[in-house]
Structures are given as structure tokens and as C-alpha cells.
Amino acid sequence: MSSPLIQVTDLHKFFPLASQGIFSRVKGDNKAVNGLSFTINEGETLGLVGESGCGKSTVGRTILKLYEPTSGSITFEGEDITKYSNSKMKPLRTKMQMIFQDPYSSLNPRHTIGSIIAASYEIQDITPDGGVKKAVQELMERVGLNPEHYNRYPHEFSGGQRQRIGIARALAMKPKFIVCDEPVSALDVSIQAQVINLLADLRDDFGLSYLFIAHDLSVVQHISDRVAVMYLGKIVELAPVESLYKEPHHPYTKALLSAVPLPDPVLEEKREQIVLTGDLPNPANPPSGCVFNTRCWKAKEACFTTEPTLLQVGSSQVACHFPE
């Protein structure tokens, strides 16, 4: 197999916490991403799931160099982009794009959607064949918008349509890789399905790769080839989608899957649920040993002293001393 499109090795992203006093400069770090390694192959969709605050959005933004990584390396098409400056990143941005969670705040309300979608042509100084307007209208048609609405403003569209505008904008540069950060969580269920189908079609048509960040496990299962489960800045399990959902190995994955309600009252009654107690610990001060030990029902002594590393269990990679 060819080399992966994206290779992330031991990625860290810490956010310094504000100081409380004149003499101390930095109180500590919010360890949002704490040692992550994974690859994404061409045409592949990697799902990234976890609770809010586990660092999944930070991963997406750091890969695109919207945040400067603290340490570790990011390679895109064999090119190490970790230390690239903004100007060096600019030509690469045509190949890497992002779709944001909130279709209400990610579109400038004072710009027409035509100019929103066309912005990247202008920034990159590219004139597509047949002119910008034609290219934009083709994109609008492709994502299921009426091309005649070229001159309308974002407020004239519903949430689902706005998300389509965001998708068209991401597609304008014919990217290879798109980070989808919770692209459907702000949408109604019936609209959610439309957008998921659209994303799947576009992936197949244009050979796109996605990093698909979401907290909804059933949505992630639907679109992903492989899934990474994050907890407190670390990947605790990384596996092909079938095996992750069929036989989760990490206790956290198991608990997360068991918490998802099934849309069927008969199955719901039988569902065995592992209710996790407590909340996510503070990422500035993660527990020593395994990060999940404060909520894990299987935690033994080893879990409090040594940190587990990602090890191969069957087709999955699991970071647990006592995998299921």
C-alpha cells in the first residue's frame, strides 16, 4: 500500500493557562492533545469520537495548522508540515479544508453565499475554467443548492442549507482531505441524514479523505472506515469500524457504546447499560497512570501507576492494561 496521506506522530498541543499573580508567568498547561499518533490513508474516513473536552476538535485544528503544535510531527503527502509558516502552508491549504460545526456562526452574515464560496479562489489567486461564478454555481448544484441563490445572504437559508454552503466552500479548491468537525450535530435528524449522505457521495465521487469528528457514535459508525476513541487528550482505542462496534476492547469504548440509546423500544428494554459515574477529569491535571482510572470499574493497582500504551489486540489497537 502507498504511504498514508496524513501521518501524525506523537502530537501534543498544550494551551497555557492564565497566570494568577504577577510573578508566575504560566500556571500550567491544559493538555488538550497529549501524545497522539495515527494515519489517514487516501480515500479513507477516520472517525474521531469522545466526550466534549477530550480534545477532538483540537486534533482537527492542529492537523490543519490552525493551531501550532506543541510537539510531535504532522506529515501530509510525505511532506513534514509541522514547522511550516503560514505563508508556506498557503499553497497546501488548497488540498486541506475544513467543515465547521455551527452553520450559523461559520458564514459571514454580510457576504453573499456566492462570495463566501468564491473566497478561496480569490485568496489563492486561482481562476477556474469558465470563470469564478460558473465554478461556484456548479459547486452549489453539486451540494444540492439552487444555483440561482448565488446572491442571497446566509440568513435566508435554513441550518441544513447553510451546512451545504460550508461544504461547497470546502470543496471549491478540490481538496484531498477535509476535517469535518461535528458537521451534523447542529441539524435536525431528517436533515442530518441528507448531509451525511451528501458527505458520503462526495467522498466517493472525488476520492476525498475525511477526519470525521463527532460525538454521536451512530453517525460516526455510519460514515467511517476506522474509528479512534479519544479520552482526555489520548487515543484509548483505534480500530476498523466493524470490530470497534462489535467487540470494543477498551472499557471506555464499551461504556460509551452502551450509553447510546437505540431507537427501538423493544431493544431499549434489553439494553445493558454501563453508566459511568462522574465527569471528565480536568485536562490540566490528568490522573497519573491510565487517564481513565477515575471512572473505570476495572481499575487495579497497575492502572494507577503505569500508563498503558496502544497495543495490538486482534485488529484493534487498545491502550489498556486489562482489555476486554
Partner 1 sequence: MTLLKVENLCVDFPTPDGLVAAVHDTSFEISPGETLAIVGESGSGKTVTNLALMGLIPLRTANVTGSAKFESHDGPVDLLAMNRNDLRKYRGRDMAMIFQDPMSSLHPFYTIGDQIIEAHQIHNKVDIKVSRDRAIELLEMVGIQGAATRIKSFPHQFSGGMRQRVMIAMALVNNPALLIADEPTTALDVTVQAQIMKLLSDLQKELKMAMILITHDMGVVAGAADRVNVMYAGRIVESANVRDLYANPLMPYTQGLLASVPRMDRPHTERLSAIPGQPPSMIALPTGCSFNPRCGRKSEVGASKCESQMPDLTTRGNQHFARCFIGEGA
Q: Which residues contact partner 1 by CB under 8 A?
A: 51-52, 158-161, 188-194, 196-197, 200, 215-219, 221-222, 224, 241-242, 245, 255-268, 271, 273, 275-277, 279-280
Question: Does residue 202 contact residue 171 with C-beta atoms inside 8 Å?
Answer: yes
Closer residue to partner 1 (CB): 17 or 262: 262
Closer residue to partner 1 (CB): 246 or 300: 246
Those residues with Cβ within 8 angstroms of residue 188's Cβ, 6 or more apart along the chain or in another chain: 159, 160
Rounded to a whole number of angstroms, the minimum distance from the CB of residue 189 to partner 1 is: 6
Closer residue to partner 1 (CB): 97 or 253: 253
Rounded to a whole number of angstroms, the minimum distance from the CB of residue 191 to partner 1 is: 7
Q: Give the strand pairing for 79-80 and 29-40.
A: unpaired
Cβ burial, residue 73 (10 Å; 0-12/13-18/19+): middle
Rounded to a whole number of angstroms, the minimum distance from the CB of residue 43 to partner 1 is: 15
Rounded to a whole number of angstroms, the minimum distance from the CB of residue 188 to partner 1 is: 4
Rounded to a whole number of angstroms, the minimum distance from the CB of residue 242 to partner 1 is: 8
Q: What is the arrangement of strands in the sheet containing 96-99, beginning at the earlier edge strand?
A: 96-99, 177-181, 209-213, 45-49, 226-231, 234-240, 316-318, 311-313
Closer residue to partner 1 (CB): 25 or 270: 270
User: What's CA 321's distance to the chain center, in Å?
Assistant: 27
Provide the phi-psi class of 314: left if phi over 0, else alpha when psi is between -120 and 50, else beta: left
| DSSP state letter for 31 | E
Closer residue to partner 1 (CB): 80 or 264: 264
